[in-house]
Structures are given as C-alpha cells and as structure tokens.
Amino acid sequence: MSGFYKDFLWGGAIAASQADGAWNEGGKGIDTQDLRYFDAGWDWEKRQENRNINMTRERFLAALQTGETEHYPFRRGIDFYHHYKEDLALMEELGLKLFRTSINWARIYPNGDDETPNEEGIQFYTDLFTECHKRGMKVFATILHYNIPVNLVTKYGGWKNRKTIDFYVKYCKTLYERLGALVDYWLPFNEINCSRFNPWNGCCIIKDQEEHYEQTIFQCTHHQLLANALAVKAAHEILPGSMVGGMIARFTSYPATCRPEDVMQTILDENYKNYFYTDVMARGRYPAYAKRMLREMGVSIETEPGDEEILRDNTVDFLSFSYYMSMISSNDPNYEITSGNLLSGKKNPYLETSAWGWQIDPLGIRISLNEMYDRYQLPLFIAENGLGAVDILEGESVHDSYRIAYLREHVKQMAEALDDGVELLGYTMWGIIDIVSCGTIEMSKRYGVVYVDRGDAGEGTNRRYKKDSFEWYKRCIATGGLVID
C-alpha cells in the first residue's frame, strides 16, 4: 500500500460558534447560534429530542431578550477567542499541517447589512490566521458554518430572501480582500445540505412562521447554491489561483438487502441527501433527478434569469465532506432506527454504534471517497471526522483508547482510498479540541484530542489537557500515517 503523500494535509477542525465564545465582545453582533437554548439539567431523552430542533418564534424572541450565557452554550464556547494562542501552540505540538475553522460573519459585519466591516473582527482573524502560519499550519477557512447575523433574520427573513445573497457576497469579498493572503483553502458553506436536515442551522428560518416549510427550505437552498457559486466567482476574480470548495455532510447509504427496491431506495437516498448538492456545486446545474424530487415534495423554486449561468460558470475547485457514520436504505419501514449526524436512520446490524447511536463504519470513508472521486474527479478533503464520546479526566489526561481505535481505523481506510487512486488532499479531524456539540449543544459530547475542562453548565476551569489520542495523532502525523497502531 502506498498510503499518504509526503505533503498530505493532516489537520484539525473547529467552528466559530462552537469554540469562540466572546459572543458580545470585539464588536461582534448577535448571531443565529447564540439563540439556541440548552439546559444542563435535561436528561438523555430531552437532550436527544432537542437535537437539531427547529427554531420557534417563542424561543427566538425569548433568546433575543436575554443576555445570559448559562442556557446558551454557544455564547461561551470554549473561549477560543481568548485562548487561541495557547490552543494553536498545542496544534503545533501535534504537528498539524492544516487548521480549519470558520469565520463568524457577525464579527465581520455585526448586522450583516452594515456599510463597512468591523475592524476589530478583521484584526482578530488576521491575528488568528497569522498565528496558524507562524506555527506551521495552513488555513482552511469556512466562510459560513451555520451562524448568520440575527439582524438578517429579523429584517430580511434569513436565506429565504434573495437579498441575503448580496450581503453574503459582500462579506466574502471583504474576506478575500482583507484576509486573502492568509487563507489557503476557502469553504463558502459548511455542509450545504444541512439546510434540509436542520433548517434553523442551515437556512436560519423560524419554523412556525413558514406556511410551506419544504418550499422555503429549497428556496433557501437555491439561494445558498447561488451564493456558493458567487463566492467561487469572487474568489477567482480577487484571488486568482485560489482554491474554493464545496462541502456536504456525507450520508453514506448501503442497500439494507439485495432486494431491488432497497437498491433503488439507496440510489434515491444518495441522490436526494448528498449528490443533489454536490452535483450543482461541481457540475454546475441541477441534476435531472431534482425535478422529480422537488415535484414530489410539492416544491417549486423561484429562479431569476441568469441563475443557470451563475451555477454553470462558477463550479468549485475541490469537494469536501464530513464523514461520521453510514446508514442503510430500504423502503421497508420495519427497521430499527438509530441516531446519526443531523438525521436518524435505519440500523445496520453489522456495525457498532457510538454512545450517541451513530454507526461506526471506517470502511464507509473509503467507499465514500471512491464514490465522490469517481463521480467528480475533483480533489477531495475529509473536512470532518471523529468520535463524540464521554471522556473522563483522570489526573492530567484522558485514556481514550476508543477514540484512538476510531481514528486509526478511519486513517487506515483513507490510506486505502489513496491507494485506490483517490486524490485526497487532506483530513481535518473534527473537534480537534473539545468544543460545544452542534447537535445536542452538550459540552460532554467530546471529540477532541485535547480535553477542555468545561462542563455542560459552563462549569470548570476551562484548562486544556492532552488526551492519549493526542500522542497517537502526533505519532500518526509524524510518521505520515504509517505508525497507526
């Protein structure tokens, strides 16, 4: 097996809303993730129920009226905003080659529709990205990882309003002009298919204000796909030669059986949940199956003259995806259901699940990489992959052999994919340092190789500790993925 290239980009990823904190400092405006409510007293069921829950008008207004952080963990994150130097020093010690984080739109344009950018926000990202380079890491910047300035929701209705595209493009241009020299890879949208599976995160729409929810979701999606294409266009104009990519949450699906119906269901699931989005971003047009998909949902997207050309002329330079688990497809409803990233699905009897019910499937990463590369022949990134688990701090460390096993098996399968001929540029392990979970908003669902002493209610010292997986990942990187046991 030939394995990883010498310059393979071993990395780590986080997102602003889950890490930064400092929600009302540095001139930042309030953003849509700052409004998500959580109660540390909730039991397991309540936490799961609240997972990816839709925003209601009542919750939205209540959140806007309070300045408290206790029930709004995204407002405090892990305070990466004030700790980034110490955190990046740990990333350097790991030997990371690539650091992925998102820029918070509300730090750059606090209201989204401001005339001029917030200089303190620009300075923060200038310092942050400069620090990454100083410590030997390239920068993989996500332009939008769910959270938009709340003013864009109250005043314009979020992504359902076409005007949001203009505000977004202006924001992108500011980033390219002011931070372009410091960013190596741009990602206009985190998991653009999330619009369908978590419409608050993805589209920033309030469910009980929508008459035809699905219609609104796909209208938002159309606007985001246009915005993605326009972000590619602007980058190529302002920063010639820049690398701008597309991303989805990859819902890898296998037929539950060899019944032809299950195989057909798999094709539909793959198309509707995954490829619809990557087909538009990489091939530059709505795929043939989209017509039927939208018709059957009773959705008719409003378009404007010129939209087709925008999509056609501005396709992405690379594709990336998050990969945590796989699922099975069947039109037979009598399957046990288990949880997963953004959505639940049918349970595969051959796979173990994580403590959160996500089906652990290392081979699925190789399968997904091969499928994506065969379909698009574009360079790929694994933008997220990791294990959410309950970690116990014992003395100065966490003995997370379960995480090492998860990472090791996925790394092995990436090596296989490379050997299959897939052009995989890099791997940004998710939640390289513990952050607030995006789905359940728990701090106790941890992914990191660095432990952060902070609990669900925000209690703790916020001190960082290296887990056993830190040493493992460090060795993995140092040996170019060869020493993986």
List of residues contacting ligand BG6 (CB under 6 A): 15, 18, 190-191, 249, 322, 341-342, 384, 388, 430, 437-440, 445
Q: Known catalytic residue: 384? A: yes
Nearest distance, CB of residue 391 and ligand BG6, angstroms: 14
DSSP state of 95: T
Two tokens at 442? 């728990």
The active-site residue out of 191, 270, 416, 442 is 191
Q: In 3-state terms, what secondary structure has residue 324?
A: coil
Nearest distance, CB of residue 353 and ligand BG6, angstroms: 13
User: What is the rounded distance in angstroms from the CA atom of residue 253 to the CA atom of residue 133?
Assistant: 38
* 170 or 446: CB nearest ligand BG6: 446
Q: Known catalytic residue: 68? A: no
Q: What is the CA radius of gyration of the chain?
A: 21
User: Which residues neighbour 310 within 8 Å (Cβ) at sequence distance 6 or greater?
Assistant: 226, 229, 230, 233
Nearest distance, CB of residue 396 and ligand BG6, angstroms: 25
**Residue 45 exposed, middle or buried by CB count within 10 Å (0-12, 13-18, 19+):** exposed
* 76 or 170: CB nearest ligand BG6: 76
The active-site residue out of 131, 270, 384, 416 is 384
User: What is the rounded distance in angstroms from the CA atom of residue 131 to the CA atom of residue 63?
Assistant: 34
Nearest distance, CB of residue 164 and ligand BG6, angstroms: 20
Nearest distance, CB of residue 439 and ligand BG6, angstroms: 3
Residue nearest to ligand BG6 (CB): 439
Answer whether 153's CB lies under 8 Å from 167's CB: no
Nearest distance, CB of residue 390 and ligand BG6, angstroms: 12
Nearest to 128 by CA among 53, 48, 19: 19
* 30 or 383: CB nearest ligand BG6: 383
* 190 or 359: CB nearest ligand BG6: 190
Distance from chain centroid for Cα 446: 16
Counting Cα atoms < 13 Å in the Cβ hemisphere of 429 gives 32
* 117 or 388: CB nearest ligand BG6: 388
* 15 or 299: CB nearest ligand BG6: 15
Pairing assessment for the beta strands 345-346 and 337-338 based on DSSP bridges: antiparallel
Beta strand ranges found along 307-404 (DSSP E): 318-322, 326-329, 337-338, 345-346, 380-384
User: What is the rounded distance in angstroms from the CA atom of residue 327 to the CA atom of residue 254?
Assistant: 6
Nearest to 78 by CA among 37, 118, 23, 130: 23
Q: List residues with catalytic annotation.
A: 191, 384
